Each structure stands twice: as C-alpha cells, then as structure tokens.
A and B are shown apart, each in its own frame.
Chain A
Amino acid sequence: MFKKLTIKIALVLLLFSGVSCKKWLDLQPTDGITGASYWKTKEQVQASVTGCYASLLGSPNGSRSLAELLFLWGELRSDMLATTTFTVPEELDIMNVNILPTNSIVNWRSVYQTINYCNTVIDFAPQVLGNDQTFTQDALNKSIAEVKALRALMYFYLVRSFGDVPLKLKATASDKDVEQIPKTSKDSILLQIIQDLSEAESTAAITYGDRASDKGRITKYTINAIQAEVNLWVENYAGCISACNKIISSSQFGLIDGSVASTWFNTLYVNGNSNESIFEFQFDNQRQNTFYPLLGIVSRHLAANPLVLTDVFPTDFVNLPPMIDIRGDGASVRSTDNMIWKYSGLSNDNRTQRASTQYAAHWLVYRYADILLMKAEATNQLNNGQEAIDLVTQIRNRARAVAGNNTNPSPSDKNAVNDFILDERKREFAYEGKRWYDLLRNAKRNNYQNINLLLQMVLNTVPADRQQSAIAKFKDKNSHYLPIYFYELQTDKLLVQNPFYK
C-alpha cells in the first residue's frame, strides 16, 4: 500500500508541475488588449492610425498637450505676446530669452509620443495583411502614408525647434527596444523628412469621403503643404513652388471670402474644416484644447501684446469709412482686454467668448493662405518679385488690409518684397504658432543674412533691463534652438546638450 500511495502522490505531483503549471501561470489582464492579440484586423489598423491623430489632441500620460506646446514654441519667443500677472516663470523665462534646460516647455515628450505611435503603425500594420484577408495592400499603403507624413511633420517641428535631435524610426514595442541614441544632425533629419514625405505622397489618399476627415486627416495635399514648408526651410525654392502648385492646381481649396468679417471668422476659426483649410487638429467638445487656462480664463497666463493692435493691425486714418483689417480686433485679439481671440472667440461681431466647456477651436496647421504666402516667398527668392506681390495682394484684399501697412515694395527689391511677405504672414497667421519659425527661417536665410530680424524683435519684447543680454544671446545662432530638456540628458548618456546651453 505504501508503494501504491507513493506512486499516486508522485503522479499527482507530476500533474501539478507539468502540464497544468504552464497554463496555470499564464494570466491575462482584464483591461486593455494585449499586444499578442492585437494587429489582427483592418479595424485595428484604423484605430491605431486614429490613435496617432488623437494623440495630437492630448497625451494619454499627462504630458503637455501637443497643440499647446506648438503654440508656446511658435509664439513665446516671438513678438506677439504679453505677460499677465499669472504668467508662470517658465513662460516668462522663454519670453525673456532666459531659457534653461530645466524649463519644462522645452520638453519634447509629446512630440516623440506621437512619433512612437506612428512608428508602431509603420512597424506592425503590415503584419495585418496576413491576418485579415479584407485588408488590401492599397489600404495598408494609405494608412502608412498618413502616419509617415505625420511623423515627418513631427520631426519637422523638432528640427526647427531644437536643431539636431535623436532620430527614432523604429517603434518601441518592448523593453529590448529601449536604447540610447545620439543626436542626428538636422540636415540628415531634414533629408529623412523629405524622403518620408515623397514616399507618402505617392500612396496617400486624396480624399476620405467627407469634409471633416479630409481636413482632420493627412491627405496628399497635406503632404504637399508640408513639403512646401520643408523646401522653403531648406531653401529649395523650386521644390516649394512645385509643392504649392500641386495644391493650387488641384482646385480643392480657396480663400474664405472676407467680405463679411463675422462669416469669415465663423467659417475659418469657430467652425473649422473650411474650404481654406488643409490640415487641422480636430478638437471637439469632448476633447478640448488647453487654451482656456492658458489664454481664456480670467487668470490666463498669456495675452496679446498691446502693440499688436497698434502696430500690426493699425487703425486706418486715411480712408473713410476707415478700412478695418478683418484679422485684427475680433479675430486675432479682443481689443477690450487683449485676449487672444482665435481660440476664445465664438463670434467676431459681438465678441462673445467661448464658455470654458466650448474650447474646441481647431489647431490650424496648414491652410490655403499659407500655401499662397509660401509660394510668394519662394518665387521672390527666385527673383520673381511681381508674382510674389500679387500673391500677397490676394491675401491682403481678402483681409481688407489697411493701406497704411502696404509698403508697396519694388518687385525688383528682393529684400523689401521679403519683408512685405513676412509682415503679411505675421498678420495672417497671428497666434497660429508660426511666427517664430517664420522669423527664424528668414533670419537664417543665406547664412544668417537677416539676423537683424531677431535682434529687432527682441527690442520690442524683452524688458529693458534684459535687452542687452537677450540681444547678445540672439547674436549666437545656436541660441535660436531650444535646449534639450535636462531629463533627456539624464536618461540618454549619448545625448549632448545643444551648444548654446552647455
């Protein structure tokens, strides 16, 4: 009996440790979908692509919202903002050209988060082809084109803001993919961007069938718009013009009529997804932008610079009835309290502000006016001043720009025409996160020929006691790029702080 029992026990133990053990220890979480069961259907590819876009609206892990970051990067260092009593020190430091690596505004996390989501789709979506028979190569290519272009756009923001940055083109799927990589030079990154864009262009969708998706997702035209700006940045003017022409000749876009200012404002900014728009982040009431605390609440951090209403959008004293630039009071700024109106305004005529629960204004990335002005800038650089002036005039007429700021440059005076275009961009894209990049692009052209643009700007924005130091800093072209956030240097020993901030 003793032996029999021993055998029985041994059998039971064997049962324990052998077959059952493996299964027994394999527990699955009850929330979320595990990686092993993902990437099986075309719907999952679609949801992941949507996830990439959705990450533009807000970060899932509490990082600063991307739209807010792009606003701060594009506007804080330029000349259109003023402080309030609630401006936080980090914002103030950037405005005063006193940027430290510890300033969390220079934290690029939200941008790379979106890049990683894009990389994940690029790496894993192809395996769905084998799992889902209804998923076609064409559909796959379209999806990949979208995320590749989005990734290129993200890198384009990074390279313009930081110069050299780490180039990560592979998804971080497991801890084995966590690595330390050095910075890649900005030229190589721009090359990568150009390559990605041209790859994406060939397979991207032209339309998704409805207006909102065509504006909220990346189409072929969005890719052309990015190409135009990238080419302008790398001083490939012919390339810029060709990209712009693709959009212009498509006849899919046009300027919103400005004859009734309130309609124009409603169509372009309040409702969004207008005929003029090429790509915009689709905030909605469910997922709002973060501009209420930043720009809208009583204790808002930032307001419009008072000079904007006097200098950028001056009152016209010449004509009667006076011409009023529709882009000024009631569009960019509310004159009564210098509130930045593009994201807060619900109407242009009675100046009604959005309620805190209505902050869903879209973040405009590209619109048709931008294409026209980029084309103008490029044609002027290729010595076609008259065409450039004509394009600018088209924008000015739409906006009923006042005569006072029409400098009437001679078409042959390349610099004057350039200044004319830059000034118009300032009016047209006030607070759309473009001003700093416009300034920097023009300042750095032809090996920093126009660095005075920045030095002049500093005079208007930085308090007197810090002006000299700010000018001295801006004279060093390395200071035009942001420092790498200190955290990144701690976690990646191969990263080297940007030269100005060492």
Chain B
Amino acid sequence: MKKYSLQLLFWFCLVALSGFIGKAQAQSVTVQGKITDTDNKPVQGVTVAEVDADGRTIKAGRTDVNGNFSLKIINKKHKLSFSHISFISSELSIDERTVFNQTLLSSSKDLQDVVVLSVRKADNGMVPISERNLTTAHAHINAKEMEEMQSASIDQALQGRLPGVDITAASGDPGTGMQIRIRGTSSINGATNPLIVVDGLPYETTIPSDFNFGTSDEVGYAQLLNIAPSDIRDISILKDAAATAVWGSRAANGVVVIITKRGGVSRPVLTYTVKGSLTKQPEALPMLNGDQYSTLIPEEYMNPAGTPLPQTTKEFQYDPNDPYWYHNYSNNTNWIEAITRVGYIQDHNISMTGGGEKARYFASVGYFNQKGTTIGTNLDRINTRINLDYIVSDKIKFRSDFSYSYTNNNRNFANNLRDIAYRKMPNMSIYEFDEYGNNSGNYFSPFANIQGSYNGLTSSGNVNGTVNPVAMANEATNNIISQRITPHFKLDYTIKKNILQATFDVQFDINNTKNKSFLPQTATGRLFTEPAVNRSYDGDIDVFNVTTKTNLVYTPEFKNPKHSLVSFLSLNTFDNKSTSHEVLTSNTASSILVDPSSPSRTQNSESKLQSNQYETRSIGLLLSAQYSFQDKYIFNAGIRGDGNSRFGADHRYGVFPSVSGRWRISGEKFLKNVKSIDDLSLRLSYGQSGNAPTRDYSYFSIYNALITGGAAATIGTPFSYLGQGGIYPSNPELKDLRWETIVGQNLGVDLSMFKRRVTVTLDFYKNKTKDLFYTGLQISSFTGFNTIDQNVGTMDNQGFELGLNTTPYKSKNWQVDLNFNVSSNQNIIREISPLYPSSKGDVTTNGQYATFLKVNNPFGAFYGYKFKGVYKDLASTIASDEKGKPIIGPNGQTVYMKFNYPSIGYTFQPGDAIYEDINHDGNINYQDVVYLGNSNPKYTGGFGSSVSYKGQLKLTAFFNFRYKNDVINGTKMNTTNMYGFDNQSTAVLRRWRKEGDVTDIPRALYRNGYNFLGSDRYVENASFIRFRTITLRYTAPKKIADKLKLKNISGYITGENLYTWTKYTGQDPEVSLRGSDPFRVAFDQSFTPPAKIFTIGISASF
C-alpha cells in the first residue's frame, strides 16, 4: 500500500514540477523601487517577490533600511508582490515597468477588534459545508467554551454539553478513560466507541484487546488524552448515519471530528496558559470504626447457628495478655483516609502562532501533571504539536502537522483499591506492632486473617479477596508509559481554480506503550513460594498506523446561480500493525527486584511469556454529492464501498448508501416576509454504515498445538502424546460473519430567529442495527467449541435530541446567554438468535436481580422482590393468606414463611428481611418477583448560562441532569448486608438485635439467610441535577494589556462538581450502565461522589 501512496505522491510532484519547467522563459529585466508607509517613511524588510499567475513565488528580495529594493525579473508577464507583516499586501503587474515606488497601507486595523460575521463552516472531516446547508444531524462545540475546565482530555470537558452524546467516566483516577456513546449503544458487544477524526484523518483509539491492560477498551480510549485540549479549535460530532456514512466502517458508532488550531496571517503571537487545580475527595460514606465493627462480627457469626466465633479467632479477642494480636487488632483505622490525599493538577501550555502570505505556523508545547486523590496515582504528560501550512502557489498547498506526546501514568495495582479499603476490617492496624506494642514501621500484611487473603487478580485487574490497602497503594506499582508520534502530511492541488481540487493526506501514527507492574510480597503477605509474590510484569505494545486519504473535489460553476453542486470522490486506506510482547514472572528474590529480568520463576500458571502480532487493513471508496437549488432545496447523496481484512472473502466488501435532504422553509415565499426568522429548515436523512468486527483473523480456522496452559489458548507449552505433538482445530472458520449494518433515519428541524439570538435544533432518530455482532456467543458443546462470533439479531436505538441556544439579553455592556439540551434514547432488541441467552440473574441468590431479554421491549428493566421491613418477632413470621388469616398446615400446625420451598426451604426467622408474598402462598419464590424499575433515564441533558459584562467579566455556569432512572444502590447493599467480614456502613448500627426490635435493617447473619435478595430496598430514583461547573473569567481590557506590554491577558477561577440535587441516597447518582449487553442495569458500586475540583487559570498572549 505504502508503495502506491508514494507513487501517487510522486505523480503529483511530477505534474507540479512540469508546470514550473514549462513556464520558465528567459526575459531578464531588473526592477527597482522604494517602499514607504503612509507617513512617507521608508519601510525596511518588505518582501518583494516576483510571482507567477498561480501566485507561486519565482524570485524574491527584501527592502533595505531605506526601503529600497532591486530585483532581477525572469518574466515580465509575472506580477510583483509586496508583503510585510504590518502592512496590507499588494500586487502589481510588471509588464514594461521597471520602477516601483510603492506606499503600503498599515494593516494594524486588521489586528484590532474585527468582528467576523462569516458563516460557520461545519466540517465532517472531508469537505467543509456551511452549517446552514447541512442536511445531517450534528453537534458542534467550540473548544473555547470549555477551556476553563480542568480536564486532562477533551472528552471529560464535553460531558453533558451536547445533546445525544453521553460521556461517562470510568473512575476519577488520573489516566482512566471515558466512555463516549453517541445516541446510545448500537452494538451488543462489538466496537462501540465513536471514530475520532483529527484534522481530516481517523485517529486510532484502541489497542488489541488481549494486551494486559485491565479493561483495554477504556484505557485505550484514554489515548485521546494525547491531544491537548488547548490545541483544539473545535469539535463536531456527527450523529446520524447519513453523516457518519462518509467515514464508513469505523464510523458506525458516530464520529467525533476534531480540528486543531492552525496559524493565520499575523505577527507571531505567543500565548501562555496555566491552570492549577486542587482536587478533593468529598466526604465518603460513613463506615463503622474498629470498636463498632468488633461488636458486629461476633454477633453476626453467632446469629445463624448460635455458635460463637472459635477461640482461635484472635482478631476479635482484644486480649491484652496476647499483646501481639491485641496491638494489631484493637485499632480504629480509617482505611479510606489512609489512602486518600488532596490531589492537584497543573497544566502549562505555551503556543506560538503566526505566519505570512506563504507560510503559517502553530506550535505548542504543553505540560500536564496530575497527582491523584488516591495514593499511588499520578499522571505526567508532555505534548507538542507543530502545524505548518505552506502555500507554494495558488495551485499547490502543503500542510505538515507533527504531534508528539509522552505520558507517564502511575496507577494503583488493584483497580478496586478504594473498594478494598472500604471493606477492610477497621480494627486492624496499618503497620505491624510487635508484642511490646512498638510500631515496627512495616506494613501489617498478614498471610491471611479472618477476613481472608489475597486471592489473585480478575481479568479486569481487580484484586480478589483482601489486602492491606495502604501497603497495596504504596508498595505495588503499575506504571504505563506511552509515546505517540503522529506526522501528518497533506498536499492540496488545485487542478482548476474553484472547480476541481485534489488533496492527498497521509498520516503515520507511531504509538508505543509500555506497561510495568510489580506486586511485592509486602503488599499481600503471601508465602514466598506462591506465584502471587514479587510478581513482575513488563509488557510492550507498538502500534504503527498508516492512514491515507485521497480526495477529488468537484464544484462546477453553473451559469444559473440557482444551482450549486459540491461533489467529491474519496479513497481512504488504513493499515494498522501492532506487535506486543509481554513477560510475567514471579518470585524475584526481593521486593526491590521489580523487573522480570531479575532471576524469577516462570513456570507456573500465572506467568507468561507472550508475543502477538496483528494487522488490520481497510479501504473505502466514497462518492458523495451535495446539490442545492435556490438555496432552498438541498439534496445530498453518497455511496461508500468498504473493504475490511477482518472478514472472510465472501463478506469482505460492503456497500453503504446514504441520502439526506434539507428544505429551507424560511426561503419559501410565505415565510420570506417574517423578518424574525433567520432560518427554518427541515432535515431528513437516511444512511447506512457498516461495522467491522473487533478481532483480527477471526474468520480463519486455525490448527494449533495442544498446550499445557489450559484456559488461555496462547499461553503455555505444547504437550505431546507418546512423544508426538498433537494438533487440534482451535476454532471453527467463520464463513458467515457479515458486516454489522446500521441503518439510520433522522428527522431534524433547525430554527434560528432574531439574528441568531435564538437557535433551536430538534432531531428525532431511529438507528436500526442489523446483523448485530456478538463476540463469544455460547454454542452447544457438542460442536466441540465453546463460543463463536456471530451476527445475532437486530436492535433499534431511537430517541430525540433538543438543543436550544438563546441570548435573551444583549446590550452594549451586557450579554446574557442561556443554553439547554435534552435527549432521550431507548434500546430495543427486535430480533435475536435463539442461541442468545434470554435472562440473567438468579433471584434465589442474595444480591441478584432478574433481567430479561424481551423482543420489542426496551432494555434496562429489572425485577425482584418487594421489601417490607424486618420481622420483628416470631409471630410476625407466620404465613398468612390473601385475607390476612394465618395459613394452617395439613396437620393443623402453624406455617411459617419459607423461602423457595422445597428446593431451599429456608424458614424466615425474627430479624430477617420481609419480602412481600405476592401470591400469598407462604412461600417466597420466583412467583413473588415483580417489576422494580428501569435503569434507562427518560431524559438526560444539561443547561447553562453565561453573563458577560463589557466582554471583560464573564460568569459561566453549567448544570447537567438526568431524569427518571432507577438505580440499584449496590453500595447500600454491600455495606448493610452483614454477610461476611467486610466492614459495613454506620446504618447497620440500627440493625435488628432482639425480639421486638422494629427497624429497617435486618439482623446480621454470617453467610446465611436471605437478607439482601434483589428487592426494591436498594432500588432508588436517581434523577439528579448537578452543578457541574461555575467559572468567573476576567479578561483585561486593552488598555491594561498594553500597559503590561501584552496582547491580551485573562484569568479565571472555576469550581467543578460543587453540588448535586438528588433524592438518591447513594454516593453518586450518575451511574453509568456498564457493559453493553441487553441485561445491563445501573448498579451503583461507587463509594465516593465525584471529586470537587477548584481551578485557577491565567492565559496571556504576547
């Protein structure tokens, strides 16, 4: 491919050169003259150039200190141009003239307040089309609107700003990614992230999923970080399928188009911005202290069978005669406080921009440093960007962009560290005491205690079991260093001015990531022989992408001005290669030897030595045209063919058409006279786009050697049978894997009134995903395989979005802006493979809710029992029928309430949770399960206001909200279940303890009973309004700036996440729906609300 790209480049160059050569003729003449300004003073340093008809510079010289110049001209038919940064350029024809005494007009006016009234162009990354002529749904935000916010990446700042764009954070720790969903999730488990397009070319945001990042999806997304928010000029989001169809297969989940800043014609402007923030974890959920905990546990243990904690359990004995245990287990440790600190963020950015007629530049260097609120987490980032434009002639333009970023991110080894800290027994000490009560200074990490021990890691990087959280935060490391270099070259060739233009883009993207982690023995206390001890990991992944785009834009001129046409042909290619190497060893000799290269064990089930290579290629050819008649009827049609290497030969290519139109009603006669309406348009679109699978090579059937490792098919050593290697078919060939096709329909209305003081955008959409991908669909084991990837069904996403921007008050000094957006989305399965499971959740197990997949019903509904309080005494546990009369057994005996008789047959005891016996049969079982709620918010959105005075003082506030969604308060469940040795919240202090207690918290039962079955006890309405940000910005007036010899200066203070209005009793009502399967429900596991952030920033330009 690269060969062809080069070839193409070569062609362009050749043609361009031939132009030069062909026109060079020897007609040597010398011209001279003097350049003065309007005050008749000579101007030094004016560039005097001979330019040809295409504006190409042939020869150039400069004026001396007296403003004189002389230049040997090659061709008299050329023109002479005079340019200087402070003056308006001029151009004169030469012909027979040899003396040029010119007066230049000062251009200082240009640099003063110029009110630009041009129409904003919307950019889909391909061909810019003015926003008022767009036929598709899109959202747009200017980065300036967000620049006060203290966010490491632009995605964080976008949260809640745009209708139909749902952005949620994975966690507040530095470096963790965000999840962006445009108009809901269009896939059950395929790729769901939108395509990011930076300066016209796709920007890869994923890394192969089998690399050892906990959840590579989210982390990979954090790569977006690598574009510094201050380098971004604006962001557009393409939402409907007709708009995304332009980008083809990788755009099925929407497109985020990012345009970075570029230089313009100006003298050099140096801008320095600095932001500093303090971040603070808000008050967390109150948990039991050591003393309260130590009274709860023996009671909890005793309750089920009446047997006290065994004498060997020294953790709760508080026996001063056993001093070692006494000192180590008689504390009131606040584990959360011990791993929390005040975080800070600093962000510096210097940029320089400027340029002349021919060359323009934008260069920036940024440094970002964040210390997380959890010990052991921080992020450092250095990034630079140079965007250069060079205008060779009117025909040829070059662009060369170069960006580099370096990120060094430290994370907690355990992704669930905060969770572990909440659960950790509070009577345990952080540091180990000896038997004399002296603090040894070593972390107290016992091999195991009553609460358990370290039990390994889950695939998502969570620690199973429990550890000393402080030791874990301080001693265990997890470091990710990534470097990314993205050179981007663009050649712009005007074949025929204003009519035919060709562009050629090529971008190389070198993205290297190194992940090192180490789990020392001191963090887990495990025995030295275990593979969990001194576990050392080192992984490298190198990704190399080559993206090209060749566009041919044809904009014919019509004699009749009523017609206009923009059409283009685009060829896109994408090649992604990644190689990874991973080493995981254990039992290095000491906790100081953290690298796997130290002598260590490699022969155990946890260790690995692995390397992988993947390559993906895709190609797309697009033909698109937008035709407009009388500026009223605009019609857009496109057809795109895609090819992707992830499909087998039968289904490798897909063709995806799109059509859309816009009717400018305000252009019709009957509305022409309504002066208040600037624009009223109706948009209608239909489009298809295809989605490729996330995995490479999946359509091959692979024959592999049998290996000893077991579970993961690529790890371990091959084993033999009778000394011979055995080969087995490791997966079936996926002949039938087809494109997942998203068919989108959109109906939109744009209204702009009172000279754009009121603008309204309303969109209704329906996206149908056909041939939904499902990775790892379970298949019958008689096939010999566990799972296959398949197209399983059809799903709809439908909803509406409304955006409203107004300027209700505007005077000379004051301006008030109000904006509001709201959206609603529903996910409905229309058709599903019979192999796909139809329900999830076992209602006979504590903590589980039932969810069902019902065709033609929206996702998100969950079912469970009705909680009615706590049985206060034995009499209250007698079963009763519909009329409230006690049920009598066949032998006249009293019948007590039972749970799931006969297979479980637990008899409810006083102090147990009461569940409503819906069918009055004295037996709580699946028949008593009822609808409890729905996790999907009815509406989500945000609103904000800004008030500015004289353009100097500006107060901006922004709120976001969700309305009508039910959340399962998992934190409440986990902190009040009193089921194990985990610490509990202070709510359990009012638990049922003796006959007659009336309370809402059941008795403590160690690993027994059914006190926290999925019931409405934990279901809460999580509607909320959050005061997301408030900013006060002061921009110094010109007078002051001049005094300071600055071009401009401004400063601001911002507060984020200041307050949340909600009835939700959990920590944070903004619970994202994890995962993308149809069974997902909002299950709140968070212990802390989002951190409060206070930022001060200054920006100055010289």
Find out whether the CB atom of A491 lies under 8 angstroms from the CB atom of B778. yes
A9 — which chain B residues lie within 8 A by C-beta?
11, 502, 552
Answer yes or no: B834 CB below 8 A from chain A CBs.
Answer: yes
A33 interface residue (CB < 8 Å to B) = yes
Option from A25, A30, A51 in Cβ contact (under 8 Å) with B727: A51
Residues of A within 8 A of B117 (CB): none
A12–B1 Cα distance when bound, in Å, is: 12
Q: Is the CB of A60 within 8 A of B730?
A: yes
Is the CB of A315 closer than 8 A to any CB of chain B? Answer: no
Which one of B321-329, B702-710, B914-922, B1082-1090 is at the interface? B702-710
Least CB distance, A204 to chain B, in whole angstroms: 17
Instruction: Decide if A476 is an interface residue (CB 8 Å cutoff).
Output: no
The 0/1 profile, CB within 8 Å of B marked 1, for residues 24-44 of chain A is 111111111111101000001
B:598-626 near A, CB below 8 Å: 612-613, 615-619, 621
Chain A, Cβ-Cβ closest to B11 = A8
Question: B15 near A8 (CB under 8 angstroms)?
Answer: yes
Residues on A with C-beta less than 8 A from B4 are: 12, 15-16, 20
Q: In the complex, how many angstroms separate the beta carbon of B708 from the nearest chain A beta carbon?
A: 6
Judge if A448 is at the interface, Cβ distance under 8 Å: no
Asked if A113 is an interface residue, CB under 8 A from chain B, the answer is yes
Task: Please report the C-alpha to C-alpha distance between residue A119 and residue B737 in the assembled complex, in whole angstroms.
Answer: 23
A58 touches B778 (CB 8 A): no
Closest chain-A Cβ to B209's Cβ sits at a distance in Å of: 15
Closest to B493 in A: A5
Q: Across the interface, do B721 and A216 meet the contact criterion of CB distance under 8 Å?
A: yes
B782 within 8 A of A: yes
Complex: chain A residue closest to B698, CB-CB: A29
Closest to B786 in A: A61
Q: Is A57 an interface residue (CB 8 A)?
A: yes
> B652 near A: Cβ within 8 Å?
yes
Query: Which among A54, A57, A175 has the highest number of chain B CB atoms within 10 Å?
Result: A175
Which of B652, B708, B726, B732 touches A177 (beta carbons < 8 Å)?
A: B732
Contact flag A29-B721 (CB < 8 Å), given A12-B8, A47-B726, A173-B732: no
| B733 and A175 contacting across the interface, CB-CB below 8 Å | yes
**Residue on A with the closest CB to B842?**
A102
Stretch at the interface among A104-112, A322-330, A375-383: A104-112
Q: Name the residue of chain B whose CB is nearest to the CB of A12.
A: B8
Task: Please state if B1 and A50 are interface contacts (CB–CB under 8 Å).
Answer: no
- For A119, list chain B residues within 8 Å (CB): 784
The contact of B779 among A59, A113, A178, by CB within 8 Å, is A178
B696 an interface residue at 8 Å Cβ cutoff? Answer: yes
For residue B11, give the distance in angstroms from its CB to the closest CB of chain A: 6
A231 contacts partner chain B, Cβ-Cβ < 8 Å: no
A2 close to B727 (CB less than 8 A): no
- A residues 52-70 with Cβ under 8 Å of B? 52-63
Which parts of B609-655 form the interface with A (CB within 8 Å)? 612-613, 615-619, 621, 643-645, 649, 652
Query: Is the pair B550, A54 in contact by a Cβ cutoff of 8 Å?
Result: no
The closest CB in chain A to the CB of B502 belongs to A9
Indicate if the CB atoms of A168 and B726 lie closer than 8 Å: no
Neighbouring B residues of A27 by C-beta, 8 Å? 615-617, 645, 696-697
Q: From A38, A57, A172, name the one whose CB has the most chain B CB atoms within 10 angstroms.
A: A172
Contacts A60-B713, A116-B783, A116-B784 hold; do A29 and B700 have CB atoms under 8 A apart? Answer: yes
B residues in contact with A36, CB < 8 Å: 700
Q: How far is the CA of A62 from the CA of B712 in the complex (A)?
A: 8
Interface status of A13 (Cβ within 8 A of chain B): yes
User: What residues on B are CB-neighbors of A24 within 8 Å?
Assistant: 1, 617, 619
For the complex, give the distance between the alpha carbons of A407 and B496 in Å. Answer: 109
Residue in chain A with minimal CB distance to B7: A12
**Could you say which of A32, A107, A176 contacts B704, with CB atoms under 8 Å apart?**
A32
Q: A25-B617, A175-B736 are in contact. Are A33 and B834 (CB under 8 A)?
A: no
- B780 an interface residue at 8 Å Cβ cutoff? yes
In the complex, A490 has a CB within 8 A of chain B: yes
A350 is an interface residue with CB less than 8 A from chain B: no
Cβ B721 vs Cβ A35 within 8 A? no
Does A115 have its Cβ within 8 Å of any Cβ on chain B? Answer: yes
**Quick one: which of B573, B713, B734 contacts A175, CB cutoff 8 A?**
B734
- Whether B781 is near chain A, meaning CB under 8 Å from some CB there, is yes
Q: Is A405 an interface residue (CB 8 A)?
A: no
B500 contacts chain A at the CB level, 8 A cutoff: yes
Residues of B within 8 A of A13 (CB): 550, 569, 571
Q: How many Å from the CB of A180 to the closest CB on chain B?
A: 7
Indicate whether A409 reaches chain B with its CB closer than 8 angstroms.
no
Given contacts A12-B7, A60-B730, contact A287 B780 (CB under 8 A): no
B115: interface (CB < 8 Å): no
Nearest residue in B to A120 (C-beta to C-beta)? Answer: B729
Contact B834 A30 (CB under 8 A): no
Is A166 at the interface (CB under 8 A from chain B)? yes
Q: How far, in Å, is B855 (CB) from chain A's closest CB?
A: 15
Q: Out of B496, B696, B710, B727, which one reaches A44, CB within 8 Å? A: B727
Contacts of A502 in B (CB 8 A): none
User: Pick the contact of B701 from A12, A44, A174 — CB < 8 Å?
Assistant: A174
- Interface membership of B947, Cβ < 8 A: no
Q: How far apart are the CA atoms of A6 and B11 in the complex, in Å?
A: 11
| B344 on interface, CB distance cutoff 8 Å | no
Whether the pair A174, B732 counts as a contact (CB closer than 8 A) is yes
* Cross-interface CB contact of A25 among B7, B621, B645, B726, cutoff 8 Å: B645
- B720 at the A interface (CB under 8 A): yes
Residue B788, interface by CB 8 Å: yes
Instruction: Verify A34–B702 contact, CB threshold 8 A.
Output: yes
Q: Say yes or no: B719 contacts A58, CB within 8 Å.
A: yes
Residues in chain A near residue B719, CB distance under 8 A? 54, 57-58, 286-287
Cross-chain contact A34 with B722 (CB below 8 angstroms): no
Question: Within the complex, what minimum Cβ distance (angstroms) separates A498 from chain B?
Answer: 15
Docked Cα-Cα span, A108 to B573, in Å, equals: 47
Docked-complex contact B495 and A53, CB < 8 angstroms: no
- Which chain A positions have C-beta within 8 A of B616? 27
Residues of B within 8 A of A488 (CB): 780-782
Extra contacts, 18 of them, besides A24-B619, A35-B700 (Cβ < 8 A), are: A2-B500, A35-B701, A46-B724, A47-B727, A50-B722, A51-B726, A54-B726, A61-B711, A62-B711, A62-B712, A116-B783, A116-B785, A117-B728, A168-B783, A174-B701, A180-B780, A216-B721, A286-B720
A-B contact pairs, 15 of them (CB 8 A): A8-B15, A12-B4, A16-B619, A28-B700, A31-B612, A35-B703, A44-B727, A47-B726, A50-B727, A57-B706, A109-B781, A166-B782, A178-B783, A284-B720, A491-B778
User: What residues make up the interface of A, taking CB atoms closer than 8 Å to B?
Assistant: 1-2, 5-6, 8-9, 12-13, 15-17, 20-21, 24-36, 38, 44, 46-48, 50-63, 107-109, 112-113, 115-117, 119-120, 165-166, 168, 171-178, 180-181, 212-213, 216-217, 282, 284, 286-287, 487-488, 490-493, 495
